[in-house]
Amino acid sequence: MTNLITRALLALTFVAGVAGAASAQEAIANGVRVEPKPLAATDPLAVRASALVKLILAGDKDAAVALVRKEADPAYAKSDKVVTDVEAHIKRLSTAKYSISDFQTGLGSDVMVLLTGDKGQEENIVIRFNDAKLMTGFANARINRG
Residue 34 pLDDT: 72
Q: Over the chain (146 residues), what is each successive 10-residue block's mean pLDDT? A: 38 33 31 78 98 98 98 96 97 96 92 95 95 94 69
> Which domain range does residue 88 map to?
2-144
Q: Report the alpha-carbon distance of residue 145 to residue 9 in Å, rounded.
A: 7
Residue 99 sits in a domain whose CATH number is 3.10.450
Report the domain count for the chain.
Answer: 1
